[in-house]
Amino acid sequence: MLSFCQWLQATAFFTDLRGSGIIYPSILSLHMVAIAFFGMMILVTDLRLLGVGLKSYPVAELLGRLRVPKYFGFALIVTCGVLLFGAKAEEYYYNIFFRFKLIILLLILIHGAVFRPSVYRNGAALDASGLTGQAKLAATLSLVLWVSMAICGRGIGYIEPNLFKLHARATQTGTADTSRLQAAALRVPVLGAGVIR
Amino acid sequence: MLIQAAVENVLNASALIFPALECFHIIGFALLIGSIVIVDFRLLGVGLTREQPSALTKTMFPWTLAGLVLIFFSGPLMYSTDPDMYYLNWSFLIKMACLLVALVFHFTIHRTSVNRWAAEGAAKGVAYTSLVLWASVVFGGIFIGFVSQGL
């Protein structure tokens, strides 16, 4: 996995992306814009499933109308995320917050699959029978998962794995392909970019 | 004087305070912008189109307000941890200008066109303007970290 990350960020595309003064932060900005534009749709859905807000909308209609925009937003966020990861793949590999974030992403996908039949594709029944415990559980878990996602995302910027040290250690113990590490070391990105101070 | 103020600022006492403020800031702008953008999407005929835009704005208003409270709580505190850096940062200055324009636009033209249910073309123009203004605030905020010059 580590060597895949090293290979990925050493590709011409991601090397250029990492070195670009404007494109990299623009992708990060787009990532954040997409969160701002589409994150609220998740909250709105959760509030409705908890019975707290937007009661004028039947659950089925709310889920149906927001489904496509939410998928679009998710795709945009993930696309930007993949590009950001690729540009600094090796750093991200070592970054504990990035690992947490991937785990949360996995949990979010599982959450969607688990509650799909009983909640997210079951709006009409929820309107007829009232909000079930399942629906409220789904909404609560969704809130917890997405807030954790945001916190881990911000955490990523605060960890700067010392790649020089890690490369030196790998070279000493003979566990690394030295030529690849040297190539990677030459392309070590500007560490800490994205941390506001 | 500003440097001295930053050094004495209790917010700089722990390395965890600033990232925590940033998390509040992110959740705050997601609420603020998200609750406005849902209405913009409504004006464009996407998403929650059941209600009139004015009713949707009313439903969303508590969240707009919550977002405003969070960003105006966390933002100035973040600024106070390193005022010189922000003051000299062109991206920060652009962000503040965009924020001011976006807020004024929101509480004047946006509000009026939503309440009076303006002609479809005009409403769409207002929605696109709102989307661009808020996106530019986010871009300005992110670029602060990339153009900052150490003192």
Task: Check A56 against B55: CB less than 8 A apart.
Answer: yes
Q: Is B37 on the interface with A (CB under 8 A)?
A: yes
Q: Give A10's contacts (C-beta < 8 A, 6+ positions apart).
A: A180, A183, A184, A187
How many residues does the structure list for chain B? Answer: 151
Cα B21 from Cα B42, distance rounded (Å): 31
Query: Residue A12 corresponds to which amino acid?
Result: A
Tell me the C-alpha distance between A63 and A124, whole Å. Answer: 10
Shortest alpha-carbon distance between residue B118 and chain A (Å): 23
Residues of B in contact with A26 (CB under 8 A): 139
Per-residue pLDDT, A70:
95
| B53 shares contact with chain A (CB less than 8 Å) | no
Q: Which pLDDT tens digit goes with each residue over A113-138?
A: 999 999 999 999 999 998 999 999 99
Cβ separation of B59 and A38 shorter than 8 Å?
no
CB contact under 8 A, A196 and B22: yes
> Which pLDDT does position B67 carry in this prediction?
97
pTM of the complete model: 0.86
Q: Is B92 on the interface with A (CB under 8 A)?
A: no
On whether any CB of chain B is under 8 Å from the CB of A43, the answer is yes
Residue B17 contacts A where some CB pair is shorter than 8 Å? no
C-alpha span between A159 and B13 (Å, rounded): 19
Contact B85 A197 (CB under 8 A): yes
Answer yes or no: do B148 and A197 touch at CB < 8 A: yes
What would the pLDDT profile of A46-103 be if each residue is shown by its tens digit? 999 999 988 889 999 999 999 999 999 999 999 999 999 999 898 899 999 999 999 9
ipTM surpasses 0.85: yes
Closest residue on chain B to A152 (Cα): B23
Contact A26 B51 (CB under 8 A): no
Q: CB distance A196–B139 less than 8 Å?
A: no
Say yes or no for a CB contact (<8 Å) between B63 and A40.
yes
pLDDT digit string (tens) for B42-58? 999 999 988 889 999 99
Chain B, window 98-127: residues with a beta carbon less than 8 angstroms from a chain A beta carbon: none
In this prediction, residue A191 carries a pLDDT of: 40
Residue A196 — pLDDT band, cuts 50, 70, 90? very low
Contact A46, A143 (CB under 8 A): yes
The residue whose two tokens read 């709105």 is A44
Counting as low any pLDDT under 50, the low residues of chain B are none
Closest chain B residue to A26 measured between Cα atoms? B139
Q: Point out the residue among B19, B34, B51 whose CB comes nearest to the CB of A158.
A: B19
Distance CA A35, CA A72 (A): 11
Which chain B residues contact residue A35 at CB under 8 A?
Answer: 26, 30
3-state SS track over chain A = CHHHHHHHHHCHHHHHHHHCCCHHHHHHHHHHHHHHHHHHHHHHHHHHHHCCCCCCCCHHHHHHHHHHHHHHHHHHHHHHHHHHHHHCHHHHHHCHHHHHHHHHHHHHHHHHHHHHHHHHCCHHHHHHHCCCHHHHHHHHHHHHHHHHHHHHHHHHCCCCCCHHHHHHHHHHCCCCCHHHHHHHHHCCCCCCCCCCC
Residue B46 and residue A68: Cα distance in Å, rounded? 9
CB spacing of B23 vs A40 below 8 angstroms: no
Predicted local confidence at residue A195, as pLDDT: 45
Nearest-neighbour CA in chain B from A76: distance (Å): 14
